[in-house]
Structure 1
Amino acid sequence: MNANTDLIDRYFAAWNEADPASRRELIAATWSTTGTYLDPLLSGDGHAGIDAMIRAVHERFPRHTFRRTTDVDGFANRLRFSWELVTPDGTPIVKGSDFGVVDTAGRLQAVTGFLDAAPGAA
């Protein structure tokens, strides 16, 4: 496993972590302190903003999990990967692709997410 794959696997571990203290530890290990996340539905700035965003997803989709569906592709300090959000029984309900920027310390500086498939999307 390379450093980029490890970083993105921690990223998904943070998204899937229900325990607030453990999630904050994962966010701190994965994101720069000034990191940002943006997609068509959500945004978060800094560790607290990213934590609040993830907490809101847990409240809306209890016991759902995110999983990476592609290898992590990257060059220089840029990454891309795809994912899906699955129900507790494993049914995918949302699919997307994310693009990230990694800082010099190897943490995420920015992630931009795109929804590839979502309920009600045309």
Structure 2
Amino acid sequence: MNAHTDLIDRYFDAWNESDTGRRRELIVATWSTNAAYLDPLLSGDGHDGIDAMIRAVHERFPHHTFRRTTEVDGFANRLRFSWELTTPDGTPIVKGSDFGVVDTAGRLQAVTGFLDATPGAA
């Protein structure tokens, strides 16, 4: 497993963690202190903003799970990967692709997300 794959698997661990303390530890280990996340529906800046954003997703989609659906593709400090959000029974309801920038310490500096498939979209 390469460093980018390891980082993105930890990224999904943070998205899926419902325990506040453990999620915070994962965010600190995965994201730089001044990191930013942005997609068409959500945004978060810094550890607090990213934690608040993930918490809001847990509140809206309880017991749903994010999972990586592609290999992590990357070069230099850039990476990309695709994912899906599944219901508790494993049905995918949202699919997306994210693009990231990794800082010199190996943590995420920025992630930009794109929604590839959403409920009701053709």
- Structures share a fold, TM > 0.5? yes
CA distance in 2, matches of 1:53, 1:115: 16
CA distance in 1, matches of 2:97, 2:57: 17
Where 2:88 maps in the other structure, the secondary structure is coil
Unaligned stretches of 5+ residues in structure 1: none
CA RMSD of aligned residues (A): 0.5
Q: Which amino acid aligns with 1:25?
A: E
Q: What's the counterpart of residue 15 of structure 1?
A: 15
Q: How many residues align?
A: 122
Give the 4+ runs in structure 1 shifted more than 6 A: none
> Deviation of residue 44 (structure 1)?
0.1
> Deviation of residue 121 (structure 1)?
2.5
- For the pair 1:28 / 2:17, whether they are aligned, the reply is no
Normalising by structure 2, report the TM-score: 0.99
CA distance in 1, matches of 2:77, 2:121: 31
Please list, as runs of the form range in 1=range in 2, the aligned pairs for 1:43-62 lying within 5 A after superposition: 43-62=43-62
| CA distances 1:46-95 after superposition (whole Å, capped 9, x unpaired) | 00000000000000000000000000000010000000000000000000
CA distance in 1, matches of 2:98, 2:121: 18
| CA distances 1:93-112 after superposition (whole Å, capped 9, x unpaired) | 00000000000000000000
- Identity %, equivalent residues: 88
Normalising by structure 1, report the TM-score: 0.99
